[in-house]
């Protein structure tokens, strides 16, 4: 078997095992939550008969292992169950909310990834000089701010002081693209500030590591301009670690947006999860946790696959 095919199969198998383990941890975590689901639905005045009937209807009387496998097999088939609070299909609700979260993450990635790479290239070109120090200081300052602090600061600046954007980032199906982009401007800014520093610093470190190679010294002896050497010779050979960190931050843009969505009341997966955690709607909590785990593991597998394909020693073994 070709080494690259073997490695890809190993990564995919490991990803599936990790997702299975994550699903078990999510189910166990939800099971360990205090309180009674039936009691929270019917209220404190519910009779024991009503509580017993509801537990039987929801399948809560079955063994935990049975309920776990029933939930897992149904999720594999695309059935995430029914929300306890409103009786709606979780799959349908999650589809719309996940689309909104992906829309937000997409535009944050469109801005942050090229900007991080450009800033990384500039930092390498002027390493240990004032542009490098300025870029590092600014990006480290932004990543040190918690998301909710950055969100409220931007909200105060652009909605109270200058009144450019709305403090509530609500989007719906009838809006035009321009209206949606205006609505998500503030949460996109927060997400860009959060992920920019990590990607920029990894880009800088990866390129500086390659700059010590012999072929870079040869390019310098040929008299090529420094930025041409960095962009055309060093950066393409540093792409594997850069791709890894980009994928990790893309995973964060999808999975870690809970705080940002709550701050700006954005109708995405994070807001949907928080709303149903407060209502103790366990099927929704389990479904959201499983989707977040699948997205995070999937993007990490993509990073591994791209790194493997970008390695010429694996693509062209002796």
Neighbour count for residue 110 (Cβ, 10 Å): 12
For 258-281, write each residue's pLDDT tens digit: 889 889 989 888 888 888 887 778
Give mean pLDDT, residues 183-189: 92
What percent of the chain has a predicted confidence (pLDDT) above 90? 12
Euclidean distance between CA atoms 48 and 288, whole angstroms: 31
pLDDT, position 57? 72
For 213-247, write each residue's pLDDT tens digit: 777 778 877 878 888 888 887 887 777 778 888 88
Residue scoring higher pLDDT (206 or 86): 206
What percent of the chain has a predicted confidence (pLDDT) above 70? 93
Euclidean distance between CA atoms 217 and 232, whole angstroms: 14
With cut-offs at 50, 70 and 90, classify the pLDDT of residue 316: low
- Domains detected in the chain: 90-264 (1.10.3720.10)
Give mean pLDDT, residues 3-26: 86
Sign of the Cα pseudo-torsion (121, 124, 127, 132, in order): positive
Euclidean distance between CA atoms 269 and 206, whole angstroms: 34
Is pLDDT of 255 > 90? no
- Average confidence score pLDDT of the chain: 83
Helix axes 147-155, 185-210, angle to 10 degrees: 130
Residues 6+ apart with CB under 8 A from 22: 289, 290, 293, 297
CB 38 within 8 A of CB 58: yes
Is pLDDT of 318 > 60? no
pLDDT, position 187? 93
Euclidean distance between CA atoms 194 and 140, whole angstroms: 10
With cut-offs at 50, 70 and 90, classify the pLDDT of residue 315: low
Give mean pLDDT, residues 282-298: 88
For 34-82, write each residue's pLDDT tens digit: 766 676 666 667 777 777 777 777 777 778 888 888 888 888 888 888 8
Residues 6+ apart with CB under 8 A from 49: none
For 155-181, write each residue's pLDDT tens digit: 999 988 888 888 888 888 888 888 899
């Amino acid at each position: 078997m070709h080494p690259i095919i073997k490695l890809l199969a190993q990564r995919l198998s490991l990803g599936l095992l990790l997702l299975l383990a994550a699903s078990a941890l999510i189910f166990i975590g939800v099971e360990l939550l205090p309180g009674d689901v039936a009691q929270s639905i019917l209220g404190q005045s519910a009779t024991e008969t009503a509580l017993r009937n509801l537990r039987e209807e929801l399948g809560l009387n079955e063994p935990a292992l049975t309920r776990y496998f029933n939930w897992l097999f149904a999720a594999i088939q695309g059935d995430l169950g029914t929300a306890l609070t409103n009786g709606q299909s979780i799959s349908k609700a999650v589809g719309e909310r996940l689309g909104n979260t992906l829309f937000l993450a997409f535009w944050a990635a469109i801005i942050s990834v090229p900007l991080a790479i450009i800033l990384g290239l500039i930092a390498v070109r002027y390493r240990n000089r004032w542009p490098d120090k300025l870029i590092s200081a600014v990006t480290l300052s932004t990543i040190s701010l918690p998301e909710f602090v950055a969100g409220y600061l931007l909200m105060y600046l652009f909605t109270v002081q200058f009144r450019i954007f709305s403090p509530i980032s609500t989007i719906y199906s009838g809006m035009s693209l321009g209206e949606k982009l205006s609505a998500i401007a503030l949460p996109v800014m927060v997400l860009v500030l959060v992920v920019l520093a990590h990607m920029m610093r990894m880009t800088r470190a990866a390129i500086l590591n390659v700059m010590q190679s012999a072929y870079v010294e040869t390019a310098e002896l040929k008299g090529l301009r420094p930025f041409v050497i960095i962009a055309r010779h060093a950066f393409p050979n540093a792409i594997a670690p850069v791709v890894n960190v980009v994928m990790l931050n893309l995973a964060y843009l999808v999975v870690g947006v809970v705080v940002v969505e709550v701050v700006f009341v954005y109708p995405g997966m994070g807001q949907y999860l928080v709303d149903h955690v407060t209502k103790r709607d366990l099927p929704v909590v389990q479904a959201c946790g499983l989707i977040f785990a699948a997205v995070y593991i999937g993007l990490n597998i993509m990073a591994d696959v791209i790194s493997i394909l970008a390695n010429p020693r694996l693509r062209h073994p002796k």
